[in-house]
Amino acid sequence: MAKTVADGQCNCHKGVSRRQFLTGVSATTAIAAVSGQITVNVAQAASTEITSEDMAKITLKINGREYRLLVEPRWTLLFVLRDRLGLNATKVGCERGECGACTVLIDDRPHYACMMLAVESVDHQITTLEGLMDGEKLGPTQQAFLEDDAYQCGYCTPGQVMAAEGLLRSNPQPTDLEIAQGMSGNLCRCGAYTHIFAAVQSAAQKRGS
């Protein structure tokens, strides 16, 4: 039983008033209604079918070969490379143009594949990590990364190699500052930057010899 004060009134903690309760219920109902509508809209969008009439016929030039594809206009180059062509060396990272794991060369210049639509890549020369190899033999830049131990977990390494390759194709003998600028778009969560710098310098020597 609750204790009372001298005037006989209850001194216990008052609960939620009727007005507060009804206000809370109304707000909750409104939120639920809006959330329900959002859920319905998302479900409708997800269930929208892409017909063959909505697909685009394109030809991509990748690693010296031509690939004829039927793609959705919204597909990124990253998605097409990995999920449609099986070129898995191009890694999925942040998918918003920040980490560089998906770096490929477009006309010998580094680009984020996640930020480029496949339909935008038509009539351009695309080079992935697979394209740097000569059969089973590593290219000079790949070999330099291997010899200089320029990786730890290795997930960012394909993008790092492609950024270095693009830098060296445009600037065969870069300075330390130019290496820093050229590799600045590629992040290494393991922090292997000292070895990455050494690998780029070594790759420059290998390519020049």
Q: Is the pLDDT of residue 131 over 50?
A: yes
Average pLDDT over residues 166-177: 97
Give per-residue pLDDT as tens, 152-164.
999 999 999 999 9
CA diameter of the chain: 101
Q: Is the pLDDT of residue 126 over 90?
A: yes
* Confidence bin at 53 (pLDDT 50/70/90): confident
Give per-residue pLDDT as tens, 59-113.
999 999 999 999 999 999 999 999 999 999 999 999 999 999 999 999 999 999 9
Mean pLDDT (the chain) is 86
Give me the domains of the chain, ranges plus CATH numbers: 52-131 (3.10.20.30), 132-208 (1.10.150.120)
Q: Is the pLDDT of residue 11 over 60?
A: no
- Read off the pTM: 0.75
Q: Provide CB contacts within 8 A for 173, sequence distance 6+.
A: 204, 208
Average pLDDT over residues 136-146: 97
Is 127 within 8 Å of 105 (Cβ atoms)? yes
Average pLDDT over residues 27-49: 53
Cα distances (Å, whole numbers) of residue 72 to 44, 65, 79, 84: 18, 21, 11, 12
Is 109 within 8 Å of 170 (Cβ atoms)? yes
Gap between the Cα atoms of 185 and 111, Å rounded: 10
pLDDT at 54: 85
Q: Is the pLDDT of residue 198 over 90?
A: yes
